[in-house]
Amino acid sequence: MAAQNGIASHQSQAVKSGILAGDAEADLTQSAYAHTACLVYGLHLCGRVGENKARRPGLQAIGSLLTSSHNKIPARRTICHHKEWSEFIPIICHGWAASSLTLPDGRRQILSFLLPGDVVSSACLLEPMSGRTVEAITEVTYRKFKRSELKSILFKYPDLLEKVTTAWIEERAQADELALDLGRRTADERIARLILNLAEKLAKCGTIIGQAMEFPLRQRHIADATGLTPVHVSKVLGEFQRAGMIKIRSRSLTIANATELRRTADWR
Amino acid sequence: MAAQNGIASHQSQAVKSGILAGDAEADLTQSAYAHTACLVYGLHLCGRVGENKARRPGLQAIGSLLTSSHNKIPARRTICHHKEWSEFIPIICHGWAASSLTLPDGRRQILSFLLPGDVVSSACLLEPMSGRTVEAITEVTYRKFKRSELKSILFKYPDLLEKVTTAWIEERAQADELALDLGRRTADERIARLILNLAEKLAKCGTIIGQAMEFPLRQRHIADATGLTPVHVSKVLGEFQRAGMIKIRSRSLTIANATELRRTADWR
DNA sequence: CGGATAGTTGAGTTATCTCAAATGCAGTGG
DNA sequence: CCACTGCATTTGAGATAACTCAACTATCCG
């Protein structure tokens, strides 16, 4: 349990002041730039960095517009406990995390996996979120933004707000799909769909190397995401591999037979 | 299949023009007034009708601000097919409806029950919703608002928008709870929770008469909402009644032993 | 009265769970 | 480097919650 939260560093106040004045491209330090992609992806602000609109600061500047602390946390530690949903919004920069609900007796449901660029939930941009817990799966770097600032920025630039609502809709649609999966689909379907969903998400982030994709999930995560038991997950994954649909080794997953996997996922 | 959609009538254009100018209380016809509660509840705009704010028209006028058609539809008919999520937003005035997702092979998951005042999903106020189907459970009266108009109103009065986002958060929280229920709770828990949730919702609407509450759901609805089978729902409800927790007769439900019901629901 | 939809009940099946033991694997401290 | 501890995974054997099928009854409505 070597808890070295030591690498956490704080962005300068200088950046902050420039921002609220809305004076844009200024203060675009190298470090601020590096993490801009997070916020951009998270809000679906644009397809590529560099594409600007007239009425507000350049997109790559938004990241620098806000006060934020920059933290690194080891795997398996909780980033945001379900109690402390106060004024900060965490956004993942590197690594995988999971956002979940937990019952007092320990049963747990993972609502979504957070990849680099994901904000926990667009919903929490404007209002604090209820009892959700966010925990790191791999080592995770993330930033914490101050809700009040983010909020004022959003309301200042209506087209940003528009983007947020779009992201909202999409998230909501995913939440609904999740309910459908959990309520009405078989274990095989759920697991196959989870894999395909993650593959798609990773493809967007461009984190797929050849056919293989980074796959740091423990079977316990898959179980908690699909409403199943780790034991059963193990069996199903075993079958999938024996059937030649996927290959898993050393924290990476390859989809060997996409057609067959899609078929068993009842995909689209 | 006697499709008498005949009672549908359309509100006047006169109302519309007054509105967009933002000139408030004008045009507050009796009929517009009658259905204002719908919109008010749906957006959680206020606790009581009559409480105004300075920067926008009185709350009870909002309902009259917009073009809307006013429809009546018999039980069991679909209000909004999953294909036609175009420019209109339905809001329930009287009766119960269900919003659901359906798979090609017929499996169905009900995402929420819509009671008077509910909008299908706050999310759909700003952007069209994906493949959700809304269907009437009882006979239903509802209004259709034009999204573009509603949207411009919302953006014109920021505090209204604020209310919408609040409703959003709440909805999202409920969607998350649903996932938790479906993924991690037993049949008994799910059904008990559904009953308690509905009771709470009805209590807010003030539709509970003594201990008994209106309960028009078929067991098939309960099944589709809880991810179970109608047969199994029947068995569980039977047990609940034999255990003296609830009484069901002639489309109304009484919670006879709330304590026990809450216990089996693993409530709060 | 007849026909449709809804609910009940029993018998047998199946998907998924629980328990448990065996194996592997990674990090820790000596 | 080794032994050790703690987690992850695999596998098997049974247990069980929920499902399917099917027949029967009740209710509703024209």
**Average pLDDT, stretch B172-183?**
96
- Confidence label for B43 from pLDDT (cuts 50, 70 and 90): low
- Predicted local confidence at residue A62, as pLDDT: 58
> Which nucleotide lies at the shortest CA–C1' distance from B232?
D18
Q: How far is CA A70 from the centre of its chain?
A: 16
Is the Cβ of B263 closer than 8 Å to some Cβ of chain A?
Answer: no
Q: Is A29 helix (H, G, I), strand (E, B) or coil?
A: coil
User: How far in angstroms lies nucleotide D11's C1' from the CA of residue A223?
Assistant: 18
- Predicted local confidence at residue B84, as pLDDT: 76
What is the Cβ-side half-sphere exposure of residue B31, based on CA atoms within 13 angstroms? Answer: 9
Strand C closer than 7 A to residue A232 Cβ? yes
Q: What is the DSSP string of B15-54?
A: HHHHHHTT-TTTT--HHHHHTHHHHHHHHT--SSTT---S
- Predicted local confidence at residue B135, as pLDDT: 93
Q: How far is B209 from chain A (nearest CA, A)?
A: 32
CA distances (Å), origin A115, targets A139, A178, B54, B185 = 12, 17, 43, 27
- Predicted local confidence at residue A130, as pLDDT: 75
- Rounded to a whole number, what is the distance in angstroms from the first to the last CA of chain B? 44
Q: For A108, which of B130, B168, B184 is closest by C-beta distance?
A: B184
- Confidence label for B152 from pLDDT (cuts 50, 70 and 90): confident
**Average pLDDT, stretch B167-186?**
95
Q: How far is A249 from chain B (nearest CA, A)?
A: 28
Q: Nearest to residue B180, comparing CAs of A255, A174, A175, A154?
A: A175
Between A89 and B18, whose confidence is greater? Answer: A89
Instruction: Name residues of chain A where pLDDT drops below 70.
Output: 1-68, 209-210
Is the Cβ of A196 closer than 8 Å to some Cβ of chain B?
Answer: no
pLDDT of B2 > 80? The answer is: no
Chain B interface test: which of A99, A163, A172 (most B C-beta within 10 Å): A172
User: How far in angstroms lies nucleotide D5's C1' from the CA of residue A217?
Assistant: 22
pLDDT of B131 > 50? The answer is: yes
As given in the structure block, the two tokens for residue A263 are 């078929």
- Predicted local confidence at residue A81, as pLDDT: 85
Least confident of A3-7, A228-232, B201-205, B246-250: A3-7
Q: How far is A106 from chain B (nearest CA, A)?
A: 10
Chain A, 78 to 107: residues with Cβ < 8 Å from chain B are 101, 103, 107
Least confident of A15-29, A62-76, B27-41, B123-137: A15-29
Strand C closer than 7 A to residue A58 Cβ? no
Residue with smallest Cα–C1' gap to D28: B250
